[in-house]
Structures are given as structure tokens and as C-alpha cells.
């Protein structure tokens, strides 16, 4: 595995951003209206203004809470595959949540996502080699108050991989935790190896809503990993400069870190920054712009070098509306910049339109893009076997290595073998139907849906999951 390339910020700049973060967390602070949250912070030494709800964080408090944040942790799904985050673990990948739109696999037309689409999406995710953690969208044919719980229930029924989502509120989050404990088998087993992770987000600029405090507190009690997030828009909800945007986002995310660690020291966290840029001609928030890619890479470098907290970054996603050339360019650049800077968790395979829509064809393409990144991150092994000195020594000029056992024994580990890239001669490509990347990806998605069946939940687990969903649905939709 190669070392991450860290060239966006030098050591002096990293220290300057960190010092400015501590300075502004104390001199300006964050608005926090949650009464118990403010009291907890005041008891820990923060300065609280009860008239404005502004909370100022002493530098030593921030530093202490960073120290108690784990440098890594392990998750796992029903397939008993461990997924490490941080502390030298290999790059992990997850899809993300929050979309409403779905690009139909058959017609390739946009529409609002349904339960059938969620099932299709989850089954394809379950078969993506390079996606470790699954997230879905909230289907709009389900009552709105419990869409988050329904989504988790549906995904547990259609994937063996861990689940990620954004809970609506503390009640639905508790129901989702109960479902996850039922799937894992016991609360102790769930805490040891969680099958669920969530996201909670500060509101830029400078505001932490009540639900964030509640979610961080409840998550920490059960050992649920939380991606602490903010989404500043350069020139809109943050300074227009990349340095200013990075500084503001660091203030907001470290404020969430403090709340989490005061409520439950040692609670697992992931530092997630979504650097967004504003298109100054339209006012649209962009995620695929090169400034976004550079900002995310710089944040990953800052967090990995200064705080040792696991970090997540957007990778294969785009502002494009469909899986076109723009989409492939933007998502490849984001994927490689984030991956080569050392992010622990790469986000958003299959997402287009700035995370508003998902596309199963793009998901299949992204799995191959991520495979290419992982091959680069693997680096070059230099040892007695790979140097192949004896074979080179005996090879006659004009010969070839194709029939050598060394080639047979090593080509699979040396090459990344994409599933859908076209590498045939033109005659073979023509004979196979002259299919482009999108057509081959759609064919593979169809093949997965036709030949692969999700592993069902055990009957007693299914009954318990159904009971939990019925109870929260009755509570929320009465």
C-alpha cells in the first residue's frame, strides 16, 4: 500500500488552520439552543451566553475531546466481513443517502424513487465488489414520518453489508438502533461490531440544531459510528476562499466532536467535510467542481495529519444529471484526489446531480473506477518474486513471457481487471454489439438482478424487525 500523497497544505499552513480554529471556537463559538447540551458544555468549562445561545469553546477543552476520539474502529455486516475505519485500515467505500430522484434502469429517465427502486438499488449495491457500506434513498411512496426506518428495514432485507443513513429524529433513530441490535443478535454484539452508522450535521454558518445533540448523545450510548459533518458553500454559507471555507468547516465539525466526546468519551466518529462551491452565475451549489475536490483533499490531509480521526470524503459523484462524460470526469478526479490524500471512507458511488439522484448504471461504473483507485493505492511490490530476475536472465532476445508460470501465477494479483471496460479488438467489439460503457454497465446490473438473490433475515429476526417498524409507524403516523 502506498503512503498517501499530502501536498495540498504544508506543515505551517496546517498549524495555521488549527490555531485559527481554536481561536475562533473560543472568540466566536457556535449557536446551540439545546438546553442540556449547553449545560453539559458549561459544566466542562465552555462560556455560554443564555441570551444568544452562543457557546464558546476553550482551546484546552477542544484538544482534550480530540484526544478521546478513537483513531479507528471496526464495523461489520451480516456477512461477517470486518470493515476497518482509520488506524491504517484499507480504504473503505460507502454509498450515501438523501437522494429523491432515481434514474430508471430500463428507460434511463428521471423520476422520484419508490420502494421497488430502493430494493433494486440495494440488491445491486450488495453485489458491488468495492462498496463496503450500503446507503439508500428514502422512497416517496412511504409515509414521510418513518421513511428513514422503512429504508433501513428494506435494506436489511436486501443486503448483508452494514447500513448507513441520516435519521429523521431521536425516536426513529432509537427504532433503527433496535432493528440493528435485532439483526446483530444482542446489544453487546452490536456495540462490539456495529452494523449501522449515521451522519449528523452542523448547519453552516455556525449553528448546531437540537437533533444533532440528541443524535450524538444516543449514538455514543450504543457505539454507533457518527460522521460529523458540515456542508459550507463557498461564497454562500462560508467565505468564498478555499482556506476560509476549510477553516469554518473545521470549527463546525470540531464543535460536534466536543459534544460527542463530552456526552460519551471514546464514541466512534468520522470527520466528514463536504466542500461545496457556488456557481456565481446561477447560485447553484456545486459538488463536482475542482475547488470542491481540492477542498476535500486538503481537509482530509489536515484531519489525518493533525487530529488522527478517521475521515470521509466524497469520491465518485458529480453535478451532472446523467452518467455522461462530465459525470465520469468529475467523479474520477474527486475519487483519485480523495483517495490519494488518504481518506479512510470514500463516499457516493452511483450518485449524480450533486447527491440529489441515484443511478444504478453509474453505480456499476463507479465500482470499476474505485477498483482502479484501489489498484493505484496498492502500489508496486518489490521483492524476489516480483523482480523476476531469474526469468529475465534466462529469457532469450525476441522471446516472450506469456507462457511462463510466473505470468500465470502473478497476473491476477498484478492487474486490476475491470468488469465493464472495453478492451477488445474493434472486430470483437463490433461482434458483441458495439456497446459503450453505459450499455455494458446496464447489462451487468440486469445480470445481478436476474441471478443474485439477497440473503434473507432469519425468521425470528425478520419478525422482530417487522414489529419494531410497525410500532414506530403507529406512533409517528397516528
Q: What is the pLDDT of residues 142-181, one digit of tens each?
A: 999 999 999 999 999 999 999 999 999 999 999 999 999 9
Among the listed residues 32, 91, 94, 81, the one whose alpha carbon sits nearest the alpha carbon of residue 57:
32
Percent of the chain exceeding pLDDT 70 equals: 99
Q: How far apart are CA 391 and CA 386, in angstroms?
A: 10
Q: Considering the entire predicted model, what is its pTM?
A: 0.95
**What is the predicted pLDDT for the residue at 289?**
92
Question: Which DSSP letter does residue 5 get?
Answer: P
Helix pair angle (360-378, 115-126), 10° resolution: 20
Q: How far apart are CA 16 and CA 84, in angstroms?
A: 31
**What is the predicted pLDDT for the residue at 1?**
60
CA distances from 56 to 26, 32, 356, 465 (A): 5, 10, 35, 42
Q: What is the pLDDT of residues 190-248, one digit of tens each?
A: 999 999 999 999 999 999 999 999 999 999 999 999 999 998 999 999 999 999 999 99
Q: What is the pLDDT of residues 314-363, one digit of tens each?
A: 999 999 999 999 999 999 999 999 999 999 999 999 999 998 999 999 99
Q: What is the pLDDT of residues 262-321, one digit of tens each?
A: 999 999 999 997 889 999 989 888 999 999 999 999 999 999 999 999 999 999 999 999
Residues 6+ positions from 451 with CB-CB distance below 8 Å: none
User: Cell numbers at residue 2, please?
Assistant: 502506498
Q: Which domains does the chain have, with CATH numbers?
A: 66-378 (3.20.20.480), 384-414 (no CATH)
Q: How far apart are CA 75 and CA 160, in angstroms?
A: 12
Amino acid at each position: 500500500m502506498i503512503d498517501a500523497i499530502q501536498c495540498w497544505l504544508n506543515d505551517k499552513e496546517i498549524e495555521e488552520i488549527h490555531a485559527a480554529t481554536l481561536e475562533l471556537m473560543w472568540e466566536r463559538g457556535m449557536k446551540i439552543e439545546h438546553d442540556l447540551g449547553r449545560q453539559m458544555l458549561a459544566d466542562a468549562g465552555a462560556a455560554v451566553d443564555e441570551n444568544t445561545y452562543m457557546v464558546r469553546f476553550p482551546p484546552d477543552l477542544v484538544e482534550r475531546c480530540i484526544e478521546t476520539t478513537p483513531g479507528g474502529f471496526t464495523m461489520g455486516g451480516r456477512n461477517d466481513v470486518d470493515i476497518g475505519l482509520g488506524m491504517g485500515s484499507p480504504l473503505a467505500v460507502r454509498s450515501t443517502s438523501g437522494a429523491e430522484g432515481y434514474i430508471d434502469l430500463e428507460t434511463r429517465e428521471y423520476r422520484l424513487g419508490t420502494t421497488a427502486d430502493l430494493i433494486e438499488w440495494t440488491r445491486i449495491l450488495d453485489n458491488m465488489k468495492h462498496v463496503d457500506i450500503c446507503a439508500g434513498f428514502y422512497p416517496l411512496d412511504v409515509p414521510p414520518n418513518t421513511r428513514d426506518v422503512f429504508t433501513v428495514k428494506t435494506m436489511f432485507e436486501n443486503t448483508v453489508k452494514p447500513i448507513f443513513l441520516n435519521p429523521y429524529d431521536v425516536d426513529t433513530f432509537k427504532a433503527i438502533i433496535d432493528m440493528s441490535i435485532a439483526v446483530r443478535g444482542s446489544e453487546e454484539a452490536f456495540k462490539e461490531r456495529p452494523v449501522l452508522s449515521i451522519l449528523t450535521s452542523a448547519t453552516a454558518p455556525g449553528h448546531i440544531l437540537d437533533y444533532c445533540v440528541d443524535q450524538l448523545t444516543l449514538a455514543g450510548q450504543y457505539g454507533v459510528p457518527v460522521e460529523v459533518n458540515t456542508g459550507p458553500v463557498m461564497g454562500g454559507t462560508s467565505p468564498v476562499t478555499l482556506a476560509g471555507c476549510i477553516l469554518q468547516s473545521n470549527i463546525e465539525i470540531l464543535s460536534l466532536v466536543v459534544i460527542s466526546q463530552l456526552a460519551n468519551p471514546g464514541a466512534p466518529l468520522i470527520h466528514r467535510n463536504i466542500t461545496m462551491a457556488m456557481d456565481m452565475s446561477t447560485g447553484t451549489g456545486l459538488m463536482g467542481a475542482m475547488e470542491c475536490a481540492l477542498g476535500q483533499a486538503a481537509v482530509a490531509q489536515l484531519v489525518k495529519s493533525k487530529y488522527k480521526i478517521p475521515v470521509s470524503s466524497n469520491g465518485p459523484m458529480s453535478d451532472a444529471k446523467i452518467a455522461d462524460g462530465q459525470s465520469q470526469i468529475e467523479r474520477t478526479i474527486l475519487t483519485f484526489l480523495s483517495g490519494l490524500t488518504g481518506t479512510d471512507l470514500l463516499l457516493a458511488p452511483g450518485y449524480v446531480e450533486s447527491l440529489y439522484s441515484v443511478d444504478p448504471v453509474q453505480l456499476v461504473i463507479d465500482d470499476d473506477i474505485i477498483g482502479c483507485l484501489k489498484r493505484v493505492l496498492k502500489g508496486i511490490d518489490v521483492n524476489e518474486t516480483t523482480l523476476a530476475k531469474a526469468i529475465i536472465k534466462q529469457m532469450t532476445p525476441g522471446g516472450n513471457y506469456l507462457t511462463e508460470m510466473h505470468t500465470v501465477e502473478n497476473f491476477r494479483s498484478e492487474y486490476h481487471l475491470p468488469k465493464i471496460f472495453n478492451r477488445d479488438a474493434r472486430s470483437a467489439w463490433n461482434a458483441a454489439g458495439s456497446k459503450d460503457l453505459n450499455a455494458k454497465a446496464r447489462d451487468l446490473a440486469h445480470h445481478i438482478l436476474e441471478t443474485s438473490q439477497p440473503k434473507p433475515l432469519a425468521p425470528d429476526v425478520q419478525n422482530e424487525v417487522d414489529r419494531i417498524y410497525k410500532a414506530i409507524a403507529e406512533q409517528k403516523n397516528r
